[in-house]
Amino acid sequence: MILPRERLLELFQAYPRDRRYALPLLQDIQKQCGYLPKEHIIEAAGYLGVPLSRIYAMATYYRSFSLEPRGKYVIKVCDGTACHIKDSKNVLETLKGLLCVGVGGMDKDGLFSVETVNCLGACALAPVMMIGEEYFGKLTEESITEILEGFRKREAVVAGI
Amino acid sequence: MKKTILVCCGTGCIAGGSLAVAAALKEKISELNADAAVETGIKQTGCNGFCEHGPIVKIMPDDISYYRVRVKDTAEIIGNLGKKPVERLLYRDDAGKRVKSQMENPFYATQKKLVLRNIGDIDPGNINDYIFRGGYEALKKALSTPPEDIISEVEKSGLRGRGGAGFPTGRKWRIAAGYDNFPKYVIMNGDEGDPGAFMDRSILEGDPHSVLEGIAICALAIGASEGFLYIREEYPLALRNVKKALADAENAGILGDSIFNSGKSLHLSVVRGGGAFVCGESTAMITSIEGGIGQPRAKYLYPTEQGLWNKPTVMNNVETFSNIPLIIGDGGAKFAEIGTENSKGTKVFALVGKIRRSGLVEVPMGTTLREIIFDIGGGIPGERRFKAVQIGGPSGGCLPESLLDVSVDFDTLLSYGAMMGSGGMIVMDERTCMVEVAKYNVEFLAKECCGTCVPCREGLRKLLDILTKICGGTGDNADLEMVESICEALKETSRCGLGKTAANPVLTSLKYFPGEYEEHIAQKRCKAGVCGMGEAK
Amino acid sequence: MNIQIDGKTCIAEPGESILETARRNNIDIPSLCHHEALPGLACCRLCVVEIEDATGNRLVVASCVYPVAESVTVYTNTEKIKKHRRTNLTLLAGHVPEVKGVLLAYCREYGVIRDDSHMKAVVKEKCILCGLCVTACEALGNSAIQMAMRGIDRVVAPPFNEPSLNCIGCASCARVCPTDAIDCESVSGNRKIWGKTFSLVKCAACGEPYATVDELDWLKGKLLDTELNLAYCPNCRRRVSVNTGK
């Protein structure tokens, strides 16, 4: 989603024009848009007075940024060591199968994207994933199917009203 | 007598549904209060550490702990208040007996909670809870103590950095305090990136004020009036709780323009990390806060001399800061009574992987691996055998069964090729393939290193290639020679700490599990059945 | 100040790096990412040396950024150092199949045997990611390119991998590149670099193309010395100014 210009400027106004605010500003843009649209990166570089190449490098350096549009719900599958030895690979395969997407991809309804992360810090519940800010632990194929259904129902309710 | 119901609302328990449990309990209490048989209050606390058995509900002062509580259990819990505990929700110990108190639970019985002193008992969102338990008294004491004496006290305690390298905290502060170059800065490193470690998340979520107090004391000691708290963005709850704690402390006049009306100021801001493991390295974090691309610096300069914006800077880890109020409050000497000769105090470990009781564990330095894994953790689930434990994150080492009796402290771990790191302890059983684990760690680091220097970027790329080959059954012995020279070059010629330690998982698995490499190379067989070329059991 | 390098007493300027001191004193230390006009980048790790402090402790450091100090003794060519250099060269050579120029010379000097048996399908890669091009572009104030991505995915690229608005086609990046990795083509009055095509300007005296139109426009904006005659190439300009007494 591309923001209207005045909304974008509002985001900018929260920060002084200084390169030290590049990271939080990009984070704010991503929070609003779900990803970092190219035109906003260019505007942000202009606003902060930082060379575009540096802002672009930053956006590709930090793992949390995406330059591609993502689903409404971003599923972060933990591949930390504890999850890895408890077969997080299966979680990923299950999700890929259920949603017909690859890692980094978005399903056809634009509802879910699947990503892997290093560690969600909920290792005692391995294997774990996070959707939005919600954690889901001790995942099995069944529980993953249920969780996705839950989100779909939530969506249907929202859309139904 | 008034009962307080404590509902654990750490990330782990929330994932298990503790917010709904808390809401249901509240509802039941409001119904109950109508007849006022028992006066009851409810509190949402931080992480109790035993996340795997969450959601956890405690009844105080009766000291009853319930595990795996569901919404449907809440009526019974409230109904039984002041009467008999709900038997089926109690923990069943190794002998099969249901135990009421946390202290009877083998997971908690031998732990020593200093850093985790408040977590699970206080509401992290309520500053008064912290103050009620003596919080911010150490900061008041520090205000009337000359900086020199604060530093001496920290030196006397023998506290060493809990973030990985174990540098003496007092010495770090003394160096930074010694420079007459203002402004100075204090940074909290909360970019807990080691997979398998979550103690910093728990502390930030469950007792944020203890960390703020430690930071404030550090600022007074070195003469800083501005600081930054760098926290991973994967920890939304920690970010929220810390921001709230910061605002509350400022509103209460504890931090901000004038600390307890002393005229001394400290302004702290929260920086959200961008999801780069290497930003946990101190100079990379500094670059990231400055607004640059978060990669380690090239120059041989310590942050204590030229850190943030080239000014003297002290950076400490979350757990380190959380220890400080105890040291200033009770004195360094008292703190130094705990632990070993060169590693003082306690350490919080995240005990995870193939283990019966997994969670956060705080023990005195010098406790053995066996005590942690078998006494507290209850050993390996099922009939399987213990194989290895990885300590110190992806750059740590995997130690075998024969080393289970070594003391867990900074220097002993280093001498065996592992390291304390931030305290992740990942237990592996016979169904874990050590070559595959080495490959996993190398792949992690290859993706997570900044990619600037040759030994790290190209060395890890090559190591990954070789280990992938070995796991696929096409490796040969010549590969192992190359592995050795790469590991040496990594250790000695890399630019930063990430590269210098990146060879550890490979080196330790080669040292302690050479047979597994041989099997993969000569017999094309993976006994653990992980690598897909051998026969799975 | 005096500093001992390989048993030789060398005069060093305070603030200098070990590499600078050594090279001024005719002690050769190999390096791929060092340029005397730019700050030390400490990327290639070929310039590693061993230093020994007063207590006899030895440490391996990158000489291009390690500041000289009287209290340390430097060894630039120990067996250990040679081995590390060989390993790092082997790694680089494994990643860039078309080893040429200075990298090839170092590979020969250190006895690196090309071995790409481990590598997956080797791509036509020449870049060793030393960062000199990025630093040169930054030093000129254009910052048209940067190191993008992280870890083993790292690449040098203009923003979004598209022709950069900031690029003036000066080709400074290509000139500092130690492995000739930046495609820079000058044919029939045009220069193509980083996916962008620039018109070349010919020198009013010798007729050789010497700069792009964008480069000269950029220079005009930067220069205070309006006397500088941009119609000539640097060589002819010098000659002309000598002849005219300017």
Residues B349-398 pLDDT 10s: 999 999 999 999 999 999 999 999 999 999 999 999 999 999 998 889 99
Task: Measure CB to CB from residue B460 to each of C43, C86, C152 and give the nearest one.
Answer: C152
CA distance linking residue B70 with residue B255, whole number of Å:
40
**Burial class for B426, CB neighbours closer than 10 Å (0-12, 13-18, 19+):** buried
Task: Measure CB to CB from residue A123 to each of B50, B196, B232 and give the nearest one.
Answer: B196
Domain check: are C58 and C138 in the same one? no
Domain check: are C234 and C151 in the same one? yes
Q: Does domain B346-429 have CATH number 3.10.20.600?
A: yes
Please indicate whether, in this complex, the C-beta atoms of B234 and A22 are within 8 angstroms of each other: no
Tell me the CATH architecture of domain B436-523: Up-down Bundle (1.20)
* Residues of chain A contacting residue C157, judged by C-beta atoms under 8 Å apart: 56
Task: Measure CB to CB from residue A62 to each of B275, B289, B444 and give the nearest one.
Answer: B275
- Residue C88 contacts residue B455 (beta carbons within 8 Å): yes
Q: Which chains would you list as touching A if contact means 3+ CB atom pairs under 8 Å?
A: B, C
Q: Which tokens go with B61?
A: 């002062």
* Residues of chain B contacting residue A122, judged by C-beta atoms under 8 Å apart: 11-12, 15, 51, 198
Q: How many CB pairs under 8 A join A and C?
A: 40
Output the pLDDT for position A161.
Answer: 60
- Fold match between B3-104 and B346-429? no
Domain check: are A52 and A93 in the same one? no
Domain check: are A80 and A27 in the same one? no
**Mean pLDDT value across chain B:** 94
User: Does residue C116 lie in a domain region?
Assistant: no
**Any idea what the CATH number is for the domain that residue A37 is in?**
1.10.10
Please indicate whether, in this complex, the C-beta atoms of A117 and B275 are within 8 angstroms of each other: yes
Q: Containing domain of residue A124, as a range?
A: 73-160
C242 compared with A85, residue with greater pLDDT:
A85
Q: Which tokens go with C33?
A: 């990412």
User: Does residue A126 lie in a domain region?
Assistant: yes
Domain check: are A28 and A97 in the same one? no
Domain check: are A39 and A82 in the same one? no
Domain check: are A78 and A154 in the same one? yes
Shortest distance between the Cα of A135 and any Cα of chain C, in A, equals 27
Domain check: are A86 and A152 in the same one? yes
Q: Which chains would you list as touching B if contact means 3+ CB atom pairs under 8 Å?
A: A, C
User: Does residue C23 lie in a domain region?
Assistant: yes
Q: How many CB pairs under 8 A join B and C?
A: 116
Domain check: are A78 and A152 in the same one? yes
* Helices B208-222 & B199-206 angle (0-180, nearest 10): 100
**Any idea what the CATH number is for the domain that residue A148 is in?**
3.40.30.10
Output the pLDDT for position C115.
Answer: 61
Domain count of the fold of chain A: 2
- B129 in contact with A at a CB cutoff of 8 Å? no
Shortest distance between the Cα of C12 and any Cα of chain B, in A, equals 18
Measuring CA to CA, which residue among C182, C184, C178, C193 is closest to residue C100? C178
CA distance linking residue B210 with residue B202, whole number of Å:
12
Residues facing residue B425 across a β-bridge: B351, B391
Output the pLDDT for position B360.
Answer: 95
Residues A52-70 pLDDT 10s: 999 999 999 999 999 999 9
Does residue B536 register a pLDDT over 50? no
Q: List, in order, residues 6 or more apart from B255 with CB less than 8 Å away.
A: B212, B216, B246, B249, B266, B267, B268
Q: Nearest residue of C to residue A55 by CA position?
A: C159
Please indicate whether, in this complex, the C-beta atoms of A54 and C146 are within 8 angstroms of each other: yes
Does residue B412 register a pLDDT over 90? yes
User: Does residue A66 lie in a domain region?
Assistant: no
Q: Give the domain ranges of chain B.
A: 3-104, 127-336, 346-429, 436-523
- C118 in contact with B at a CB cutoff of 8 Å? yes
User: Does residue A127 lie in a domain region?
Assistant: yes
User: Does residue C27 lie in a domain region?
Assistant: yes
- Residue B6 contacts residue B60 (beta carbons within 8 Å): yes
pLDDT above 90 covers what percent of chain C? Answer: 74
Domain check: are C138 and C230 in the same one? yes
Q: Pick the last residue of a domain from C77, C107, C122.
A: C77
Domain count of the fold of chain C: 2
Does residue C121 register a pLDDT over 60? no
* Residues of chain C contacting residue A41, judged by C-beta atoms under 8 Å apart: 159
- C43 in contact with B at a CB cutoff of 8 Å? yes
* Residues of chain A contacting residue C148, judged by C-beta atoms under 8 Å apart: 56-57, 60-61
User: Does residue C168 lie in a domain region?
Assistant: yes
- CA end-to-end distance (rounded Å), chain C: 40
Output the pLDDT for position C122.
Answer: 54
DSSP H helical ranges for B223-317:
236-251, 282-290, 303-306
- Side by side, the strands of the sheet bearing B346-353 are B359-364, B346-353, B424-429, B386-391, B397-400
Residues facing residue B41 across a β-bridge: B4
Domain check: are A45 and A90 in the same one? no
Q: Which residues of A touch B (CB under 8 A)?
A: 18-24, 26-27, 50, 54, 57-58, 61-65, 76, 79-86, 117-126, 128, 130, 133-137
User: Does residue C89 lie in a domain region?
Assistant: no
Shortest distance between the Cα of B444 and any Cα of chain C, in A, equals 10
Does residue B34 register a pLDDT over 60? no
Name the fold adopted by B127-336: Rossmann fold (3.40.50)
Q: Which chains would you list as touching C if contact means 3+ CB atom pairs under 8 Å?
A: A, B
- A142 in contact with C at a CB cutoff of 8 Å? no
Residues B195-241 pLDDT 10s: 899 999 999 999 999 999 999 999 999 999 999 999 998 899 999 99
CA distance linking residue A120 with residue B219, whole number of Å:
30
Q: Tell me the mean pLDDT in the region C76-97.
A: 93
Q: Nearest residue of C to residue B279 by CA position?
A: C150
**Any idea what the CATH number is for the domain that residue C27 is in?**
3.10.20.740
Q: Tell me the mean pLDDT in the region C199-223.
A: 90
Does residue C116 register a pLDDT over 60? no
- A13 in contact with C at a CB cutoff of 8 Å? no
Compute the Cα dihedral for A74, A78, A79, A80 and give only its sign: positive
pLDDT above 70 covers what percent of chain B? Answer: 98
* pLDDT < 50 regions, chain A: none
Task: Measure CB to CB from residue A57 to each of C142, C147, C166 and give the nearest one.
Answer: C147
Please indicate whether, in this complex, the C-beta atoms of C45 and B493 are within 8 angstroms of each other: yes
Output the pLDDT for position C242.
Answer: 75
CA distance linking residue C64 with residue C86, whole number of Å:
18
Does residue B143 register a pLDDT over 80? yes
Domain check: are A77 and A46 in the same one? no
Shortest distance between the Cα of C215 and any Cα of chain A, in A, equals 18
User: Does residue C125 lie in a domain region?
Assistant: no
* Side-chain half-sphere exposure of B498, counting CA atoms within 13 A: 33
Residues C228-238 pLDDT 10s: 778 888 889 88
* Residues of chain B contacting residue A21, judged by C-beta atoms under 8 Å apart: 291
Shortest distance between the Cα of B234 and any Cα of chain A, in A, equals 6
Output the pLDDT for position B534.
Answer: 45
Q: Tell me the mean pLDDT in the region B252-264.
A: 97
pLDDT band at B259 (very low <50, low <70, confident <90, very high): very high
Q: List, in order, residues 6 or more apart from C114 with CB less than 8 Å away.
A: C93, C94, C99, C107
Q: Containing domain of residue C153, as a range?
A: 132-244
Please indicate whether, in this complex, the C-beta atoms of A81 and B196 are within 8 angstroms of each other: yes
Residues facing residue C147 across a β-bridge: C156
- The pTM (predicted TM-score) of the whole model is 0.95
Q: Nearest residue of C to residue A56 by CA position?
A: C159
**Burial class for B61, CB neighbours closer than 10 Å (0-12, 13-18, 19+):** exposed
Q: Which tokens go with B379?
A: 């050993």
Q: Which CATH superfamily is domain B3-104 in?
A: Glutaredoxin (3.40.30.10)
